[in-house]
Chains A and B, each alone.
Chain A
Amino acid sequence: MSKAFQLAWQYVCHHKVKSAVLIFSIVLTILLPVTIKILLWQFNQKVLARADETPAVVGPVGSDLDLALNATYFRHNPQAKPIPFSEVETIQASELAKAIPIHSRFTAQQFKVVGTSLDYFRYRQLQVSIGGQFATLGDCVLGAQVAKSLNLTVGDQLLSDREDVIGFGGVTPLKMNVAGILGESRSPDDWAVFVDLKTAWVIEGLGHGHEDLSNESEDSVKILKQTDKEIIASAGVVSFLEITDANIGSFHFHGDTSEFPVTAIIVDSPDVKSETILQGRFQAGSAEAQFTRPGKVMRELMQMVFRINQFFDANAMMIALSTAMLLALVVMLSLKLRSREMETMFRIGCSRGTIALLQIGELMIIFAFAALITAGLVWLVWINSASVVESLLVG
């Protein structure tokens, strides 16, 4: 057996290209469906775990899925009109649940800027590993991966992105001060920049700070009109792009903050009963907001994904079958081409059984290599699947 195996090995080594093509055909046929299975499994685990950690959310009327994704992965749906902050106040006032606001419309260096309250960190059990929580307007707390990717630490500054390239979107960049960095949680929180909700509103342009106009004389070029109640200033007034100890006092909001936007609200109920009552109220009374359960939404999504995956499974089976048939064809053609070699071996004293063993040995070597390479690649896919799925979900 070992001598026949040596011959088989020599054959495989001599026909490197042919062997490599056969090996990689087998590898690809197995690897692709296995990779999809692993990624899908990982996706299912991640999505459901995150959704289950967030039993109930409130957000704009529309797609349940968009709302669930916004609340859990901070994926903003530009079509959805944000809900007013008054919904947060309403939930708080009902005493049925704690409402944690989420405002995730903007980015900083392509990472999501999430305006929220300190309750969010408690709710997600996020620990600050360096520095502290955001304490004042303009502070931010970075997710572990954000800090790592941007090489930022406490005391550094991070500029929020313009809403569009030209900067005519009304959103002016705000230079935020890094107050803390979160420990790694292997969740979307690692990829977010957390700020106080008011800081998010400042980025949105709903609040701002500028030089003091009260000391300006009425004939100053910066003042267009002045009454007892209001001062209308010209564009010459310097607005602050950074919130510092010196200018923080000048920051203020125009309008009623209860009308200011939030993209989602995490409902932190003490018990199922309170949560259900709250759900009933939203279903009965609110035209602007809806109540949804991310776990249910994500399970429905995954059921659909798995149903679609069945088509891929069938497809993979067909590909595997056609690959097997092609391999059989290659082997048969190879045997035909090598019939003289086999006949010579038989004439000089090789049994038909040993000749068959030689052929099987060659195939075994091919399959063994394919199995080894596939196992190695599957292992690589496996160890990287969690981060690949994370980046797909947050990206």
Chain B
Amino acid sequence: MISAHQLRFRYPRSDFELDLPELEINKNERVAVVGPSGCGKTTLLNLLSGIALPDSGQVTVNGIEISSLSDAARRNFRIANIGMVFQQFELVEYLDLKANILLPFYINQSLKLCRETEQRAESLAQEMGLGNKLKRRPSQLSQGEQQRCAICRALITQPTIILADEPTGNLDPKNKQLILELVHQQVEKHQMTLIVVTHDMSLLDQMDRTIDFETMRVEAPAGDSS
């Protein structure tokens, strides 16, 4: 379960302030976070994942208060519990598809890269329809394929929570539908919590709950901080 209580956050040298009195997301829940650009949706994901720390208030994920953890512990917590999917896919150009999926294992000492992990990466790629493209570089893949690869990377650590920031924002309608189906399949299969930041109202039907961020906002943003 994820909960936020009396959360306040302000970027240095910025007028933008996020003020979130209360938020609770249950285990296995699928939540869409909507709102205009700059209202703090991405900041919320950063706070929930421990990338950013609140100025005040608490974020508790699976019973652990994130701000109480050290940098290293927070990083290890994030990599073990949270999978992240980005709008721009953010794949590493010089790595092939398989290495991109396994990237969390390359960059974190707490994760052991073994044969079993590699098999899991291959199996995930297979499930995402990328089984025959493991040796390809991101530039050799279509946008839909790149996002599928990014989803595999988010799933490889077997997280309990998926945080997706505009996951379909760069995709055509056909790929958008395919990606959503694959994400929901995986979330259901692995009993994960899904939080999706989106502008796309057509996604909301497939979610359990929608949080309209605009109504939770205390102060209007000065610029686009999301």
Q: B108 touching A354 by the CB < 8 A rule?
A: yes
Q: How large is the interface on B (under 10, 10 to 19, 20 to 34, 35 or more residues)?
A: 20 to 34
Name the CB-closest residue of B to A345: B107
Interface size of A by Cβ–Cβ distance < 8 Å?
22
Within A340-354, which residues are at the interface with B (CB < 8 Å)?
Answer: 340-341, 344-351, 354
Name the CB-closest residue of A to B153: A348
Q: Does B72 contact A (CB under 8 A)?
A: yes
- Would A3 and B106 be within 8 Å (CB), given that A10-B99, A347-B51, A348-B84 are in contact? yes
B98 to chain A, nearest CB (A): 12
Q: A344 touching B86 by the CB < 8 A rule?
A: yes
Name the CB-closest residue of B to A9: B94
B109 cross-chain contacts in A, Cβ below 8 A = 3, 354
Name the CB-closest residue of A to B105: A3
What 1/0 mask marks residues of chain A from 7 to 34 whose CB sits below 8 Å from any chain B CB?
1001101110000000000000000000
| Alpha-carbon separation in the docked complex, A15 to B93 (Å) | 10
| Alpha-carbon separation in the docked complex, A346 to B99 (Å) | 17
Q: A348 touching B104 by the CB < 8 A rule?
A: yes
Q: Does B2 contact A (CB under 8 A)?
A: no
Q: Does A381 contact B (CB under 8 A)?
A: no
A266 to chain B, nearest CB (A): 67
Q: B79 touching A348 by the CB < 8 A rule?
A: yes
A11 cross-chain contacts in B, Cβ below 8 A = 94
Partner of B107, one of A10, A340, A349: A349
Q: Does B200 contact A (CB under 8 A)?
A: no
A361 to chain B, nearest CB (A): 12
B94 cross-chain contacts in A, Cβ below 8 A = 10-11, 13-15
Q: A349 touching B153 by the CB < 8 A rule?
A: no
Q: A340 touching B106 by the CB < 8 A rule?
A: no
- Would A340 and B90 be within 8 Å (CB), given that A4-B106, A7-B107, A345-B107 are in contact? yes
Q: Does A6 contact B (CB under 8 A)?
A: yes
Q: B95 touching A350 by the CB < 8 A rule?
A: no
Within B54-91, which residues are at the interface with A (CB < 8 Å)?
Answer: 71-72, 75-76, 78-79, 84, 86, 88, 90
Within A119-155, which residues are at the interface with B (CB < 8 Å)?
Answer: none
| Alpha-carbon separation in the docked complex, A351 to B51 (Å) | 11
A51 to chain B, nearest CB (A): 58
Q: B90 touching A344 by the CB < 8 A rule?
A: yes
Partner of A351, one of B75, B99, B154: B75
Q: Does B180 contact A (CB under 8 A)?
A: no
A282 to chain B, nearest CB (A): 75
Dominant secondary structure of chain A at its interface with chain B: helix
B113 to chain A, nearest CB (A): 6
Q: A4 touching B107 by the CB < 8 A rule?
A: yes
A348 cross-chain contacts in B, Cβ below 8 A = 78-79, 84, 103-104, 107, 153-154
Name the CB-closest residue of A to B71: A351
B48 to chain A, nearest CB (A): 12
> How many Cβ-Cβ contacts under 8 Å join chain A to chain B?
63
A11 to chain B, nearest CB (A): 5
Name the CB-closest residue of B to A15: B94
A94 to chain B, nearest CB (A): 81
| Alpha-carbon separation in the docked complex, A355 to B107 (Å) | 8
Q: Does B203 contact A (CB under 8 A)?
A: no
Name the CB-closest residue of B to A344: B90
A6 cross-chain contacts in B, Cβ below 8 A = 106
**Residue picked from B95, B103, B105, B107, most chain A C-beta under 10 Å:** B107
Within B138-160, which residues are at the interface with A (CB < 8 Å)?
Answer: 153-154
Name the CB-closest residue of B to A7: B106
Q: Does B23 contact A (CB under 8 A)?
A: no
A4 cross-chain contacts in B, Cβ below 8 A = 106-107
Q: A349 touching B99 by the CB < 8 A rule?
A: no
B44 to chain A, nearest CB (A): 14
A15 cross-chain contacts in B, Cβ below 8 A = 94
B136 to chain A, nearest CB (A): 13
Q: Does B222 contact A (CB under 8 A)?
A: no
| Alpha-carbon separation in the docked complex, A351 to B109 (Å) | 9
Q: B107 touching A3 by the CB < 8 A rule?
A: yes
B41 to chain A, nearest CB (A): 15
Q: Does B92 contact A (CB under 8 A)?
A: yes
B95 cross-chain contacts in A, Cβ below 8 A = 7, 10
Within B83-132, which residues are at the interface with A (CB < 8 Å)?
Answer: 84, 86, 88, 90, 92-95, 99, 103-109, 113
**Residue picked from B99, B106, B108, most chain A C-beta under 10 Å:** B106
Q: A14 touching B90 by the CB < 8 A rule?
A: no
What 1/0 mask marks residues of chain A from 358 to 383 whose CB sits below 8 Å from any chain B CB?
10000000000000000000000000
A350 cross-chain contacts in B, Cβ below 8 A = 75, 107-108
Partner of A349, one of B76, B93, B113: B76
Within B153-185, which residues are at the interface with A (CB < 8 Å)?
Answer: 153-154
Q: A349 touching B75 by the CB < 8 A rule?
A: yes
B123 to chain A, nearest CB (A): 20
| Alpha-carbon separation in the docked complex, A183 to B70 (Å) | 78
A340 cross-chain contacts in B, Cβ below 8 A = 88, 90
| Alpha-carbon separation in the docked complex, A10 to B95 (Å) | 7
Would you give 11 A-B contacts (Cβ < 8 Å), ordered by A?
A7-B106, A7-B107, A10-B99, A340-B90, A345-B103, A347-B84, A348-B154, A349-B79, A351-B108, A354-B109, A358-B107
Name B residues whose Cβ lies closer than 8 Å to a Cβ of A: 49, 51, 71-72, 75-76, 78-79, 84, 86, 88, 90, 92-95, 99, 103-109, 113, 137, 153-154
Name A residues whose Cβ lies closer than 8 Å to a Cβ of B: 3-4, 6-7, 10-11, 13-15, 340-341, 344-351, 354-355, 358
